[in-house]
Amino acid sequence: MRVSGLQKTLFYTVLILLVILTIGPYYWMLVGATNPTGNMLNTPPSFIPGDYFLENLRSLLSQIDIWRSLFNSAVTAVSFTFISGIICAAAGFAFAKYQFKGRNIIFALFLLSMMVPYQALVVPQFQLFASFNLLNSYTAIILPQIAYPFAIFLMRQNMQSIPTALIEAARIDGSSETGIFFKIVLPTMIPAIAAVSIFLFTHQWNNFLWPLITITTQDMYTLPVALATLAGLETVDYGVLMMGAAISVLPIFIAFLFLQRYFIAGIIGGSVKE
């Protein structure tokens, strides 16, 4: 089919305008983080990144311990990803490659639970952790969503592609079932597990409501909670606020740029053709 030059120009103009709309707010965050607040509140505001980076960082640090929050977010997101990744991979493997009593019912229960709003679970979970004396701990932040139904679903989808012959061959060679899982399934499934792991990591990194409820002291704040307390102050210093936003967004944004292929595969549980 022939496409006229005008059509093509129009097509790309629309697409690039949309890129500006989606990326624009991030750019504005960087401009805000590197300018004194006054520059942002001028008419016209400053449109280019300034040299106020260190000053904004310094006043951010005087208000909250952002490094500590970064550390808390990193620790909880990494351990959540690791534990949940293994647990969901094992469950996905069981659903994909074994026949057993109750398989369909248990799987349906996992899927149905995705319909239950998280907020409906929050009060009992809060009381549960209170009764274990575990509120305000890393354990409390990590544990509730470890058995993540969507991750189990994606793992199962991917594990269905493991050839049954491979598993049987290992059995004949005398491998135990757990041996098969750790020595054959996990190594061959690395791309799928990586994709789901990136999804799990981002989920936990961005998690807000549960940490907000369970964390009670400032030294345990994760980034979203720290950022929310900053935004809730009487007088909002936008330069400082944008600096905080940048610190919480940039690590995951840069990781996304490098891992986007796996990231998107983790979301849709398959591959998008180029």
- Contacts with other proteins in 196-255 (CB under 8 A)? 202, 205-209, 213, 223-224, 227-228, 230-232, 236, 238, 241-242, 244-245, 248-249, 252-253
Q: How far is the CB of 81 from other proteins (least distance, A)?
A: 15
Q: Does 183 bind other proteins (CB under 8 A)?
A: no
Q: How far is the CB of 149 from other proteins (least distance, A)?
A: 8
Q: Does 8 bind other proteins (CB under 8 A)?
A: yes
- Contacts with other proteins in 82-121 (CB under 8 A)? 87-88, 90-91, 93-95, 98, 100, 103, 106, 109-110, 113-121
- Residues 51, 34 contacting (CB under 8 angstroms): yes
Segment near other proteins (CB under 8 A), from 37-45, 49-57, 60-68, 186-194? Answer: 37-45
Q: Does 157 bind other proteins (CB under 8 A)?
A: no
Q: Does 131 bind other proteins (CB under 8 A)?
A: no
Pick the binder of other proteins from 60, 152, 154, 215 (CB under 8 A).
Answer: 152
Segment near other proteins (CB under 8 A), from 6-14, 56-64, 74-82, 188-196? Answer: 6-14
Segment near other proteins (CB under 8 A), from 52-60, 62-70, 173-181, 189-197? Answer: 173-181
Give whichever of 62 and 131 is closer to other proteins, judged by the CB atom: 131
